[in-house]
A and B are shown apart, each in its own frame.
Chain A
Amino acid sequence: MHAHKSAEIKTGKEFKKLVLVGNPNVGKSIFFNYLTGLYVEVSNYPGTTVEILKGKYKNFIVYDTPGIYGLSSFNDEERIAKNIIIDADVILNVVDAVNLERDLFLTLQLIDTGKPVIVALNMMDEAERKKIKINVERLSKLLGVPVIPTVAVKQIGFDKLVNAIENACIGNRDKKLLDKILFVSRKFNISEIESLLLVEGDSETVDKLKTKFDGEIYNYDEREKVYIERRNRVNQIVAEVVSIDTAGGRISGLIGRIAMHPIFGIVFIGLVLYLAYLIIGKLIAQDLVDFTENKIGVQIYEYNVKRFVANYFPVEINVNVIGEDDEIVDSRSFIFERGLKKSPELLSELQNFVRGKNVEYEFNFKNPILVIFFGEFGVLTMTVRYLLFLLLPLVVGFYLMLAILEDSGYLPRLATFVDKLMNYIGLNGKAIIPTILGFGCVTMATITTRLLSTTREKRIMTAILQITIPCSAQLAVITTLLMRAGFNAILTYILVMFSVFVFVGVVLNKILPGGATPLLIDLPPMRIPRIDNLIRKTWMRTFYFIKEAGMWFFIGAFAIGVMQVTGLLDKWIQLLSPLTVSWLQLPAEASRAFIMGIVRRDFGAAGFYSLDLTPMQTVAGLVTITLLVPCIASLMVMLKERGVVEGLIIWISSWVVAFTVGGIVSQILI
């Protein structure tokens, strides 16, 4: 470290990596926020969908890592945390004072890596309330690293902590283990942390090194022995530094206990899920979005943009007069050969026509380029409307709810409760969240598949969401159509959809290698979430989502626009007609509804309104349209989350499944 040239600071050469590590729910994010302030980069760890937060503090680049109980490769979070820790210069280990026995295992493991460590002993207030006394000086002496007591939510101890970061040092490592590590490290010429991981049988490290050193490295796996010895050391340390005045006391509060009660627990889940659906599926997805999308998006934003472009270019404007019952009572078409500005008489005629009436405008541009950018599916019209006025409110709502579930400590309890059920389709309990959210908006639910810990689970969940779950927009239309078709139709539809849901899950569970991760989780105490933390979390995730997904929406809209002006969209509709007519036994016009369903899911189903179908035709048609991958937005998000190849496989499967199942239903029923 030499010179203080500003140029060097900019290139980041002088920055050291400070990595925050800790068990889940120990308050790590509060430390991260305090250190980094507002300027934080959110990114996905390469090849995964696990969020990594990165920020700056003095001459450190600060990394937040997912909460882990130990350093290894048992799931995606651990793998990622481990890989960041491998490159760390200093480790700030946040420890929960109430659960010292659990948390110190990771602390000792971090010290064994030979990296400089400093420990923040957090939640000291809670420990005090529980009459847990900790001899901090003694703890620091036994660990051989600085230990600073803190109460993160009140920022108590933070001054001391930041001053002590530079005192972080290599702690008291396990002597026998150290000899072994040094031996392995010299023998294979690898770093100390890598040899520690090797000795602990970390699968990723073993895989990485086995090609280099053949089977020889397997001889050094002593995980069980090392783990048990470390556990014994933790227990000794805890026995020496912790004294408890009371005999335990209640573990979880009243709500925590209700949440885990075999009967009340289920009622509680029902309540939480219903509330979530009410707020997101109804209040936001329908009422709020109806306002932002139609009023602000269509009537203000799109109208003004199109109107501005229409000033200068040839355009045909269709004006529909809307009656009291939302139906079109009159319409007229105005053709401006050289744009609005050049034909003031026609413009004033138009203005006279609309005066005092409730009208809708359709702008049809002649120029294909204008159609791509400002047309029905325009990159600068539909996409912006989608992103800002349809998705943004949903995204904020979803992330806020997710943050509440996470920070309150309810999420792991909910997951525990439904775990057994989700196992049948190869998922674990956490998958309940994306499943329920899917009924609100599949696009967002696809993003929350990140909650799941293995790629296999993310894969199954995404496929189930994209293929079988109808979103709230579509559900509204489906419900209306089914109500008209009668009770038998409703029953058949539900039965078919549920069978497909189970079928897709069970089949994927069978054909994908591996199995559902067995449930073994530490349940954090239930807490009231902190508002500022919720806001910050929601804001960061929302910002990141729009930043990342935004581009994909533009690409999607551009592709559809090009297909529209080149006539490919119509070709596609024609291509589908024979299949629609002979196999699904629906009118040829239904194929337009299918394609429109790609643009937006409810458009598709709504296309059935005018078709005059028999009840069983309605069922066949709705089954097909539900099974098709939802809107372009969710397709794009899926491609982003699961990669292009996997995304396209799911997308094509959805076409196959949709037309196969729809056809079978039709052949049997009609």
Chain B
Amino acid sequence: MKLSDARPGMELEVYKLPDDSIKAHFVRLGVTEGTKVKCAYKLPGGTVVISKRHQEIAVGSEIAKKIIVKKI
């Protein structure tokens, strides 16, 4: 499913990141295809906040729509 469809509290594995500079950003921040993250919050407007260990990353809805995740 898309990251934009994830609900708060879900444990997820990143399956596919879009092939452009967005991917580069994610890789820098420590998220690659295969990384396990948690959907921490979902804000009005569709922004998703994912968490990974001691890190929280806010992902705008436009980007969240382009990320495929698997529920685990």
Contacts and interface: CB of A to CB of B under 8 A. Distances in A.
Contacts of A412: 58
B7 to A, nearest CB: 12
Contacts of B13: none
B28 A520 contact: no
B25 interface: yes
Nearest to A244: B53
Contacts of A98: 54
Given A262-B42, A416-B43, A224 B60 contact: no
In order of increasing CB-CB distance, the 9 nearest A-B pairs are A420-B45, A519-B60, A416-B58, A523-B56, A70-B28, A69-B28, A227-B27, A102-B30, A260-B41
Contact of A523 (B24, B46, B57, B63): B57
A236 B52 CA distance: 17
Interface of A: 69-70, 72, 74, 98-99, 101-102, 105-106, 130, 132, 223-224, 227-228, 230-231, 234, 248, 251-252, 260-262, 265-266, 412-413, 416-417, 419-421, 518-523, 525
Interface in B13-58: 19, 21-30, 32, 40-47, 49, 51, 53-58
27 contacts: A70-B28, A74-B21, A74-B25, A99-B55, A102-B28, A105-B27, A224-B23, A227-B28, A231-B28, A231-B30, A252-B56, A260-B43, A261-B41, A262-B43, A266-B44, A413-B58, A417-B43, A417-B47, A419-B58, A420-B47, A420-B61, A520-B22, A520-B25, A520-B29, A520-B63, A521-B58, A522-B55
Contacts of B32: 228, 231
A420 B46 contact: yes
Given A224-B23, A265-B43, A519-B63, A102 B58 contact: no
B18 to A, nearest CB: 10
A422 to B, nearest CB: 10
A252 B21 CA distance: 28
Contacts of A105: 27-30
A521 B59 CA distance: 7
Nearest to A72: B24
Contacts of A227: 23-24, 27-28
B45 A421 contact: yes
A523 B51 CA distance: 10
Given A224-B24, A521-B58, A101 B45 contact: no
A645 B48 CA distance: 40
A522 B24 contact: no
